[in-house]
Structure 1
Amino acid sequence: MQKLLFFFCCLCSALSLQGQGYNITVQLKGYTGGTVYLGHYMGKSTYVMDSAQLNQQGTAVLEGKETQPGGIYLIVLPGKQRFFEILLDKETTFSIIADTSDLIRKTEFKQSADNALFAAYNRYIAGMADQMDEVRRQLGAARTQLDTAKARAASEGIGKKLQQYRTDIIAKHPKTLLAAIFRAMREPEVPPMPKKADGSLDSTYPYRYYKAHYWDDVDLADGRLVRTPVLEARLGRYFNQLVAPVPDSVIAEADKLVARTKKDKESFKFMVWWLTQTYESSQIMGMDAVFVHVVEKYYVTNQAYWVNEEQKEKIISRAYTIAPNLIGQKAAQLVLQDTSGRRTSLYDIKSKYTVIVFWDPTCGHCITEVPKLDSAYKASWKKQGVTMLGVKTEGTKEEWSGFIRDKKLTGWIHAWDPGYTSNYRKFYDVYSTPVVYLLDANKKILAKRLGVEQLDGFLQREAGEAAKRTR
């Protein structure tokens, strides 16, 4: 089933605001024609939103009646192979003279103090890059530890100068978009580790302090940060590195951040969108619970006002398809027929564990994976109290029984649903094969959508935990 990323297009279109519009005159030295484009960031991704033809003097005017949200925008050169960044905020009418021989050092802005500031910063960065290249050369040529230490000290010095440059911008131009971006890029400074009662250093303190202060300098109610790559990068790092990969922990942190965006429509829309697409498509087992939570809290309650009714219903329908088979839920009943046409029921299986495999004898991936599952079952899972329930999803009965016979899939309960009365595709979210579920003795879902090695590791950990509990 196609993921719900399609609705990102709706988000982009909903972010335009009615107002004074924009008028940007662009002169590209070295060009006598072609199309120049205006693009923008949406998180880390970039999108083209407007275009204009260059005249013989290399000049074009990009203009629109709708005022765009503040952010980092892109001037994309003909051919779409090169671009340079600009700031678009309160100043929406200005001109640019760009020398394509050096877009960073030789681009000039008129009637835009914000972009003059931004251009000066980009030139400074370019100078820093030249210095860093020299430091890397020195590190590569280092003969002694002293040489290495000197080069590293030089690298740290360059980093400190760059941080000071940004700090000065924040102090001198606090209301500008550039200052907001630099504040959002600033990292928490962690104090020295305190001592615990026994006199040892508290080694967990740096992590706890860093996490607690991670968002201190990021104004999540500043919608201008949506159209920069900074906000999405920080979100990714926060949830991937600082938040425990447990649904309850992620949900709690997600709701806290969404609450901080509610004063700004652009920030709120982006935050809810990011959480929606990140956790609907997450490859981490169990994180679909976050997607279901976000949909129930923000879409079902009509807070996601930027999607129309059809789009909203698709998103809600997707969440409600996933909801019955979240980790920790009791698996839906399956009443099927075995290879002899006899009734077989999931809840009639009395076993410590049940592995359900939805598979298709004509599916290339199934042809590879199902025998691997059988090998693991016969090698160790059977001894651990596992019962295998294989459910045919596609292919003919003859293809199915032939595969079972040829691959010697003995010891399994093989079944199918010829009349599709169990509605297993909906209740188990089976839109591709193979799909594997691990259930406990009470048919509670312990794991799902794991490969053979992952499932084997999971069962081994389960056995280890059980052994600890009996000691």
Structure 2
Amino acid sequence: MSRLLLILCAAAALVACGRRTPSSRPAAEPAAPARVFLPAIAPSALSDEEKIDYLRWHYWDRFDFADTLFIREADTLMMAEAFARYAAILASRPTDGAPMDSLMRRAAASRPMLDYFAFLSATVLHDPNSPLRNDEFYIPVLRAQLASPWYDEWERLGPEYELQTAMQNRLGERANDFRYTLASGATGTLYGVRAEYVLVFINNPGCALCKEIREQIVSSPMLTEMIERGRLKVVALYPDEDLTEWRAYREKIPASWINGYDKGCVVRETNSYDLSAIPALYLLDSEKRVLVKDSTDVGYIEEVIDRRG
């Protein structure tokens, strides 16, 4: 529930500027009430787990995808919140994008509807500040845009680039390898790091949130114990080329961490990791399979490890 509340707050901040307001109408004309979307209700006879599974596929059953007037008259914030609740339901199976694929096939019936659901998806599933950000759910959105006859070649450029980025380091698949360089000049690779878990921390010395995340990791009893026992290794990677600030900051990184930089900015040049928002955490297992992708939530990292025992 706390994760859902966070995304609702984020949705409010991200889309409030786009809400319809009475002040946009002539003073003499009364404001028409915003139209309301009511999600489907799961049958009461179902178990809690069965209700979640039902809503994964039937949440939008009462939405008329042919009614483009609705999306002009509905409150944008309300719809962003409704979409966030849907995304929270999908999050119970974070690698299963099939329900999103089904939704976007229905939304692709017209250009206005496709654009509208692409906007909602970008706000909830793709914005770096969203706690429900998930590329596995956003990939079907991008594919729907690229498959649509409504877009010309120039309009496809953005979705094509975003899809290429989203396809990197997918949940459950092996992460892209990279080479890091230490302050001593020695080098190593991600795949050369041996541990039960590897936490990749892409960071920037001048970033306030990077400092906050570093402190959260250091203050976590669970992660600290795992690091001390060798079960978890942290690879702090600086992805930029100006090393002056990085060298000045490196003493603040715990000595038990691998603190390196990307010489030649290879990660950025190859787009092997999404660097559009820093910091970013990637939790990998011993085979370098991605368990958590592009997160800033240390508590969620702990939760995933704890679930795996």
> Are residues 308 and 76 of structure 1, via their aligned partners in 2, closer, same or farther at CA, if it must alter by over 3 Å?
farther
8 Å CA contact 1:74, 1:83 repeated in 2:
no
8 Å CA contact 1:354, 1:440 repeated in 2:
yes
Pairwise CA distance, 1:332 = 0.9
Please tell me the residue identity of whatever aligns with 2:283. Answer: L
Rounded Cα–Cα distance in structure 1 between residues aligned with 2:180 and 2:51 = 51
Question: TM-score, normalized by length of structure 1?
Answer: 0.50
Report what 2:31 is aligned to: 85
Q: Give the secondary-structure state (helix, strand or coil) at the position aligned to 1:415.
A: strand
Asked if 1:430 corresponds to 2:269, the answer is no
> Are residues 427 and 74 of structure 1, via their aligned partners in 2, closer, same or farther at CA, if it must alter by over 3 Å?
same
Rounded Cα–Cα distance in structure 2 between residues aligned with 1:205 and 1:347 = 37
Rounded Cα–Cα distance in structure 1 between residues aligned with 2:41 and 2:298 = 44
Q: Deviations over 1:65-105 (max 9, x none)?
A: xxxxxxxx96233xxxx96335xxxxxxxxxxxxxxxxxxx
Report what 1:351 is aligned to: 195
Asked if 1:45 corresponds to 2:23, the answer is no
- After superposition, residues 247-286 of structure 1 pair within 5 angstroms as 247=94, 249=96, 251-261=97-107, 264-281=110-127, 283-284=130-131
Alignment length, in residue pairs? 285
Q: Deviations over 1:35-77 (max 9, x none)?
A: xxxxxxxxx73389xxxxxxxxxxxxxxxxxxxxxxxx96233
8 Å CA contact 1:331, 1:444 repeated in 2:
yes
Report what 1:225 is aligned to: 70
Pairwise CA distance, 1:263 = 5.1
Rounded Cα–Cα distance in structure 1 between residues aligned with 2:193 and 2:41 = 57
Please tell me the residue identity of whatever aligns with 2:31. Answer: E
Gaps of 5+ in 2: 1-17
Gaps of 5+ in 1: 1-43, 49-72, 87-121, 123-177, 195-201, 464-471
Over the matched positions of the two proteins, sequence identity in percent amounts to: 18
> Are residues 446 and 218 of structure 1, via their aligned partners in 2, closer, same or farther at CA, if it must alter by over 3 Å?
closer
> Are residues 371 and 403 of structure 1, via their aligned partners in 2, closer, same or farther at CA, if it must alter by over 3 Å?
farther
> Are residues 76 and 409 of structure 1, via their aligned partners in 2, closer, same or farther at CA, if it must alter by over 3 Å?
same
Rounded Cα–Cα distance in structure 1 between residues aligned with 2:113 and 2:275 = 34
Rounded Cα–Cα distance in structure 1 between residues aligned with 2:205 and 2:249 = 6
Report what 2:168 is aligned to: 324
Asked if 1:421 corresponds to 2:276, the answer is no
8 Å CA contact 1:254, 1:275 repeated in 2:
no
Rounded Cα–Cα distance in structure 2 between residues aligned with 1:213 and 1:356 = 37
Question: TM-score, normalized by length of structure 2?
Answer: 0.73
8 Å CA contact 2:52, 2:89 repeated in 1:
no
**Structure (1/2) with the larger strand percentage:** 1
> Are residues 343 and 427 of structure 1, via their aligned partners in 2, closer, same or farther at CA, if it must alter by over 3 Å?
same
Rounded Cα–Cα distance in structure 2 between residues aligned with 1:208 and 1:344 = 44
Pairwise CA distance, 1:324 = 0.4
Report what 1:404 is aligned to: 250
Rounded Cα–Cα distance in structure 1 between residues aligned with 2:257 and 2:245 = 17
Q: Deviations over 1:439-462 (max 9, x none)?
A: 111111111313333323332333
Please tell me the residue identity of whatever aligns with 2:139. Answer: V
8 Å CA contact 2:178, 2:267 repeated in 1:
yes
Please tell me the residue identity of whatever aligns with 1:85. Answer: A
Rounded Cα–Cα distance in structure 1 between residues aligned with 2:208 and 2:109 = 50
Q: CA RMSD in A?
A: 4.0
> Are residues 274 and 263 of structure 1, via their aligned partners in 2, closer, same or farther at CA, if it must alter by over 3 Å?
same
- After superposition, residues 33-432 of structure 1 pair within 5 angstroms as 45-46=19-20, 75-77=25-27, 84-85=30-31, 204=48, 207=51, 211=55, 215=60, 217-229=62-74, 233=78, 236-237=81-82, 240=85, 243-245=89-91, 246-247=93-94, 249=96, 251-261=97-107, 264-281=110-127, 283-284=130-131, 287-296=134-143, 298-301=144-147, 303=148, 305=150, 307-376=151-220, 379-382=224-227, 383=229, 385-394=231-240, 397=243, 399-405=245-251, 407=252, 409-423=254-268, 426-432=271-277
Q: Deviations over 1:322-367 (max 9, x none)?
A: 2202322211111122221122111111111111112222333333
- Structure 1 or 2, whichever has the larger Rg, is 1
Rounded Cα–Cα distance in structure 1 between residues aligned with 2:178 and 2:41 = 55
